[in-house]
Structure 1
């Protein structure tokens, strides 16, 4: 039968060169075992340089805060610290990791919902606190040392035209926040306003910026002097080398769900789609795999977008004219294509429904976040014994029906053999860590930094990696 369309992965040239060096791949598996997560700090550095280039060109003051939660890698954190940027942490352990990496207190920002224990930890560390709600603000004032002024940002939500969010202080409650800041001005110092939208749409971000600029004006009326506008993260990644291939696969998947042609889905999984009245409705639980626009291009579009009510001036120009420093919190954008996961084939079997199952020595939770489907095709680093395009499902090593690594059929050049290496591309952005589990007492895969020097690849345990200080 005809296999499904291919959805090839986009690979950074450095990562592609590593995979072409089969001796380096074998060395990684031999030394650190399978499965193993590989991170590439040099790709992180290149991604950072691209964002910095856009910001420098916009001629506005800025601060980049690496969103640590995207990956637990000490190598990434150390690379960010050595590069002189800031870091966004969302737990006590992340804060400790940032401090260990070398970030000073004035380059650490604590974000996310925080209980009293986390607030005490942040206060003791002397870092900037991005306040999620009015309770946090009032509690900070109560817990803080009267002799020390705490720098805070107010995270705002409830913007017109944006989806509701459980995070942040609603626009309608800004007045109450100003009252608290005014009442406790001896303990709390307002640096500015922050937001994080679950979208990369420029129009929504522009609207949020406009609302925050209004808040800046209102703050001045309370004798508060904000100087920062933090636009959060959410910049996209480039996953696929063939956006048309992604679209073709999505079309085949939906046709299969309707019973039109060959099904490429396992069991009753609909991937978030809703099938009714002879049609497929809604959206899938996939990342935006078809995106071809880089994070740098998305950021450039945002900074160049005209702000309503400001005479057509670009967002970056308005911020500069108002002496506001732009902060952003990229995570996925900095680790885009900077990490892969290596595993090995354990065996191949045919299921009762006729499907070919390729069993690997890792679980679904190792390479995908929460309920997301892996829509980029895994790469088998071996020539098939009998080259013949075939559709397979990759299965995990847990004794659970749900542990299908790909719950949709994947096109391969042939059936792999036991021991063949398999690569999951671009897993550094949340995929490695967000859902990682120790079910059945399986260990969490090792994490290893890969560095390209003098034409060769060096491997180093992630925790031992030390970046070059520039």
Structure 2
């Protein structure tokens, strides 16, 4: 880690190829012959996408940009799903051109699909689950999916419009801690069998906590799919990449007010999850000794919420020391921003033998590259 920081600077996203492969191995071991689609929003780095595609993984995309990334690495047809509650005309057109499967999120969407589309109907099972409210996509009050009562009508409408209604999709949330939540969701889906008849596909989504009982979840998902006579699909995102990624950040100094702060050069612009949903990431000091005391890890933004961690026990920090923020492979780089005209960090991969640069660090000029000068603005023609 120290070598990477010296070579590429900090903040820095560091990925471990062995852990990427191990995470996919755990999914394959648990779910066996299930078709796996990577939820690209977790980390869309093109190198990681190429690596997953070569391993036989498809992609779940929720924007025109993600569809373009999938096309860039060569994914199409049965390797591509287009999801999202408010798809644009551009997203329908791009998905249809690549032969993607669409996930229908609302009744009105049936009339918006390109002719002859393949589709799954996203079901909202109206469950309260063990995760943050912002991550609970299967709750009754969330914006996702159609109700259990609406499912038969949407399937019938798809068939009447000439589309291929492959089956059902359910994704109840992310970072779910309790495996019983998945059991409950699959149980509610089974109740639909009497009105849907047999189906070709049951897509059980993802959202498994990093320490989830994958074997138990897989058994329940396979049983639900078998109930419909369907093939099982899954869409892991964070599970595949989170533990493979670390955010390296350097200590700038310390401060003592009502609490004790260690100030670092990474913050909400490099890892938004702690501020966005109170996510807790493991923090490791990459220095030794000097006693132990409790610190809040604070970033450089002029925002009170710019804290990467609270109440972390660390040896006494000094400027230049390195902290490793774990489980940052998902939604670290993906949610990073140019707020405060901060340059997004580089991304590097440890192959087991050498460091490989996947994305160079931005410059300030990169951040404002799309902004026009007065002369360019006048000649733009808008």
Answer whether TM exceeds 0.5 for this pair. Answer: yes
Give the equivalent residue in structure 1 for 2:339. Answer: 439
Larger relative CO (CA 8 A, sep 6+): 1 or 2?
A: 1
Native 8 Å contact 1:67 1:329 kept in 2: yes
Give the equivalent residue in structure 2 for 1:184. Answer: 161
**In the alignment, does 2:122 pair up with 1:132?**
no
Q: Which has the larger radius of gyration?
A: 1
Give the equivalent residue in structure 2 for 1:416. Answer: 317
Match runs of 1:273-284 below 5 Å? none
Match of 1:367 among 245, 250, 271: 271
Give the equivalent residue in structure 2 for 1:240. Answer: none
Partners of 1:329 and 1:228 lie apart in 2 by 13
Native 8 Å contact 2:245 2:329 kept in 1: yes
Give the equivalent residue in structure 1 for 2:374. Answer: none
State the 1:39 CA deviation: 1.6
Partners of 2:217 and 2:279 lie apart in 1 by 29
Deviations 1:232-282 (A, max 9, x none): 111111xxxxxxxxxxxxxxxxxxxxxxxxxxxxxxxxxxxxxxxxxxxxx
Native 8 Å contact 1:381 1:423 kept in 2: yes
Native 8 Å contact 1:364 1:403 kept in 2: yes
Question: What SS class does the counterpart of residue 418 from structure 1 fall into?
Answer: coil
Partners of 1:106 and 1:460 lie apart in 2 by 31
Structure 1 alignment gaps of length 5 or more: 1-24, 238-293, 306-314, 464-470
Deviations 1:383-413 (A, max 9, x none): 34xx22112222211233332333x322112
Native 8 Å contact 1:368 1:427 kept in 2: no
Partners of 1:206 and 1:176 lie apart in 2 by 25
**In the alignment, does 2:233 pair up with 1:327?**
yes
Deviations 1:176-235 (A, max 9, x none): 3133123212xx101110011124544443343344345455334xxxx63100111111
**In the alignment, does 2:24 pair up with 1:48?**
yes
**In the alignment, does 2:327 pair up with 1:429?**
no
Give the equivalent residue in structure 2 for 1:5. Answer: none
Q: How many residues align?
A: 346
Partners of 1:176 and 1:35 lie apart in 2 by 51
Native 8 Å contact 1:366 1:433 kept in 2: no
Moved more, 389-398 or 196-205: 196-205
Give the equivalent residue in structure 1 for 2:355. Answer: 458
Give the equivalent residue in structure 2 for 1:395. Answer: 298
Question: What SS class does the counterpart of residue 173 from structure 1 fall into?
Answer: helix
Native 8 Å contact 1:153 1:190 kept in 2: yes
Superposition RMSD in Å:
2.4
TM-score (norm. length: structure 2)? 0.82
Match of 1:77 among 49, 69, 83: 49
Question: What SS class does the counterpart of residue 157 from structure 1 fall into?
Answer: coil
Deviations 1:128-151 (A, max 9, x none): 1111111211111xxx24xxx211
Deviations 1:49-89 (A, max 9, x none): 11111222xxxx42111111111222321221010121111
Native 8 Å contact 2:186 2:224 kept in 1: no
Give the equivalent residue in structure 1 for 2:308. Answer: 405
Structure 2 alignment gaps of length 5 or more: 129-137, 361-382
State the 1:318 CA deviation: 6.1
Change (3 A) 1:401 1:181: closer
TM-score (norm. length: structure 1)? 0.68
